Amino acid sequence: MAEEAFGAPLRDCRRLAIHSRTLQPLDLRACVALCAAKGIAGVSLWRDVVHAAGVARAAELVREAGLAVPELVRGGFFVHDSAAARAAALDENRRCLDEARALGTDLLCLVPGTAPGVPLARAREQVRDAVERLVPYADAAGVRLGLEPLHPMYAADKSCINRLRDANDLCEAIGAACVGVIVDVYHVWWDPELEGEIARTGAAGRLFGFHLCDWRVETRDLLLDRELMGRGCIPLRAIRTMVERAGFGGWHEVEIFSRDYWAMDQGEFVDAIKAAYLGCC
Amino acid sequence: MAEEAFGAPLRDCRRLAIHSRTLQPLDLRACVALCAAKGIAGVSLWRDVVHAAGVARAAELVREAGLAVPELVRGGFFVHDSAAARAAALDENRRCLDEARALGTDLLCLVPGTAPGVPLARAREQVRDAVERLVPYADAAGVRLGLEPLHPMYAADKSCINRLRDANDLCEAIGAACVGVIVDVYHVWWDPELEGEIARTGAAGRLFGFHLCDWRVETRDLLLDRELMGRGCIPLRAIRTMVERAGFGGWHEVEIFSRDYWAMDQGEFVDAIKAAYLGCC
């Protein structure tokens, strides 16, 4: 699909969700209250705010506010030099699955991990091994595992899975129904194989999640300079059309890490997110 | 090849070259004098120092110092919204070829370019079209065109060609003997297809250049935080072995952009480059 072959504009915010990290200045109570007040129907929870509130209280807060929880963010980080550290990571991921279940979400976002001392090829084997070991626990918890390929600029310190193709290959190799992929436009927009790989993910029934933000031109920080949709260079509507053609009907989760936006009034920021979502996605 | 299947260590600095931009604090006269004094046999010239000295004087300086010029850096930047800007870029690249010839180098490094307003698929067509148009002029000048795929983190503002596979595809599509590829470890080290694509480049006789530096963990700046070899996470010896197995016998060009190293005494920096090169590449 040519990038300009857009689908129809969005007409409402029914599928719009926001990550708690997107509103980092807020604690969970304030985040939930703001989302509810602004008519945001879903909030994906990061573990920091969940732990600060306590898991049971966090579950209560979102339930009382009538919010859905598209996913818990984030497990993974499976790659380590030592077997002991890898085993500890698996334990931590089992705790993530318990928390996801307690929070009423059926999806855990996995950042695969990497380690400078571990060659990338071996790191990728470690990720496969870890996810395979996690499958029975995930099945028992009724929580799916969503592998998120991260941009190649994170290959040194966050993820050895850097393309959608590699995430798809990994899912195929594992071959478990509970293992799929989360597509974040920020990580994959540059990929010449994007359309075909999104179709492949969808055809296999593995497109579990979809994250939105934009790529700032020029980006001043590798981590905390994501843009609001429409203010960067990612062809958002084209990519949304690709995921819809691949059969995705789930949440559109806004995940923005930005010192600039975190310095704003967060209510105004949510208003800006809604306007950007309807106008540009 | 597993990343740990290293080749033999380097025994001397005969093939070591340094980019003038690596020693940014120095003007061309000082850069050339320092390289000659330190026994560096080649210096790849960036256009800024060449223009500051004047092309004829620059050619004289490197010739008098007995230095080789592996390549002129850099042409390209072919992608623009308007046809007029694209034509101007082609003219600029013809001037680059004239300068390369005058400087006594047979290789021009091309940064493909990209533009936020141009969809990536169209940008890639513009690059192909521009390189095709440049071929006759390059042939007449006796200068080869080395396309450098840039890391995906530059897809928004520097290059729409972000993987070695795509550079190889482009070269194949163009099919001219003077069009090949420059492999910079910084841009490609993360790529799961790296070994196969390097072999493909070499088998086609298109591996024109090889750039060295390292990826800092963690990287603090998208442009100016490259590391000295061995101080980051790139499997340098493994990648050097790949390019040698692909038949490459040319220069090993050190290209480091770094506020930290530019703040050092540049003589000490060159000593550190030599030690790092022999110890880690």
| CA B249 to each of CA B31, B176, B205, B258: distance values in angstroms, whole numbers, following the listed order | 25, 21, 12, 27
Count of domains forming chain B: 1
pLDDT at A1 over 50: no
Query: What are residue B256's phi and psi, to 5 degrees?
Result: -120, 120
- What region, left, alpha or beta, does residue B66 occupy, with left being phi > 0 and alpha being psi -120 to 50 degrees? left
User: Model confidence at A278, in pLDDT bands (50, 70, 90)?
Assistant: very high
User: Model confidence at A5, in pLDDT bands (50, 70, 90)?
Assistant: low
Q: Are B246 and B13 contacting, i.e. CB atoms less than 8 angstroms apart?
A: no
Q: Do B120 and A192 touch (CB under 8 A)?
A: yes
Candidates A156, A235, A238; nearest CB to B233: A156
pLDDT at B120 over 60: yes
Q: Which CATH number belongs to the domain containing residue B38 in this structure?
A: 3.20.20.150
Q: What is the mean pLDDT of residues A67-88?
A: 98
What is the three-class DSSP state of B227? strand
Q: Are B144 and B107 contacting, i.e. CB atoms less than 8 angstroms apart?
A: yes
B7 assigned to some structural domain: no
Average pLDDT score over chain B? 97
Q: Do B219 and A222 touch (CB under 8 A)?
A: yes
Enumerate the residues of chain B whose CB falls inside 8 A of the CB of residue A122. 2-3
A146 is written with which tokens? 């969503």
Distance from CA of B23 to the nearest CA of A (A): 23
A7 assigned to some structural domain: no
A5 assigned to some structural domain: no
**Could you report the per-residue pLDDT of A144-202, keeping only the tens digit for each?**
999 999 999 999 999 999 999 999 999 999 999 999 999 999 999 999 999 999 999 99
Residue A261 belongs to what domain range? 16-280
A6 assigned to some structural domain: no
Rounded to two decimals, the ipTM of the complex is: 0.96
pLDDT at B2 over 50: no
Interface test with B, best of A233, A239, A241 (most B CBs within 10 A): A233
Distance from CA of A188 to the nearest CA of B (A): 9
Q: Which of residues 256-275 of B touch A (CB under 8 A)?
A: none
Enumerate the residues of chain B whose CB falls inside 8 A of the CB of residue A124. 192
Q: What is the pLDDT of residue A2?
A: 46
In this structure, the dihedral spanned by the alpha carbons of residues B88, B94, B95 and B100, taken in order and rounded to 10 degrees, is 150
Best CA proximity match to A255, nearest among A33, A20, A14, A51? A20
pLDDT at B3 over 90: no
Interface test with B, best of A6, A81, A118, A120 (most B CBs within 10 A): A120
Instruction: State whether residue B219 sits within 8 Å of chain A by CB.
Output: yes
Enumerate the residues of chain A whose CB falls inside 8 A of the CB of residue B215. 156
Lookup result for tokens 């969970």:
A28
Instruction: State whether residue B159 sits within 8 Å of chain A by CB.
Output: no
Instruction: State whether residue A173 sits within 8 Å of chain B by CB.
Output: no
User: Model confidence at B7, in pLDDT bands (50, 70, 90)?
Assistant: confident
A246 is written with which tokens? 């691949």
Pairs of residues, one from chain A and one from chain B, whose beta carbons lie less than 8 Å apart = 87
Enumerate the residues of chain B whose CB falls inside 8 A of the CB of residue A3. 119-122
B178 assigned to some structural domain: yes
| CA B39 to each of CA A203, B28, B61, B78: distance values in angstroms, whole numbers, following the listed order | 59, 16, 16, 36
| CA B150 to each of CA B109, B124, B153: distance values in angstroms, whole numbers, following the listed order | 12, 13, 8
Enumerate the residues of chain A whose CB falls inside 8 A of the CB of residue B220. 222
Q: Do B156 and A233 touch (CB under 8 A)?
A: yes
User: Model confidence at B103, in pLDDT bands (50, 70, 90)?
Assistant: very high
Q: Do A156 and B235 touch (CB under 8 A)?
A: no
Q: Do A153 and B152 touch (CB under 8 A)?
A: yes
For residue A2, what is the nearest residue in chain B, using CA coordinates?
Answer: B121
pLDDT at B245 over 60: yes
B147 assigned to some structural domain: yes
Q: Do B233 and A153 touch (CB under 8 A)?
A: no
User: Model confidence at B5, in pLDDT bands (50, 70, 90)?
Assistant: low
Q: Are A254 and A24 contacting, i.e. CB atoms less than 8 angstroms apart?
A: no
Instruction: State whether residue A163 sits within 8 Å of chain B by CB.
Output: yes
Q: Do A156 and B217 touch (CB under 8 A)?
A: yes
Best CA proximity match to B128, nearest among B177, B169, B72, B184? B169
Interface test with B, best of A4, A81, A114, A153 (most B CBs within 10 A): A153
Instruction: State whether residue A66 sits within 8 Å of chain B by CB.
Output: no
Instruction: State whether residue A39 sits within 8 Å of chain B by CB.
Output: no
B2 assigned to some structural domain: no
Best CA proximity match to B215, nearest among B243, B234, B200, B201? B234
B267 assigned to some structural domain: yes
Largest CA distance in chain B: 50
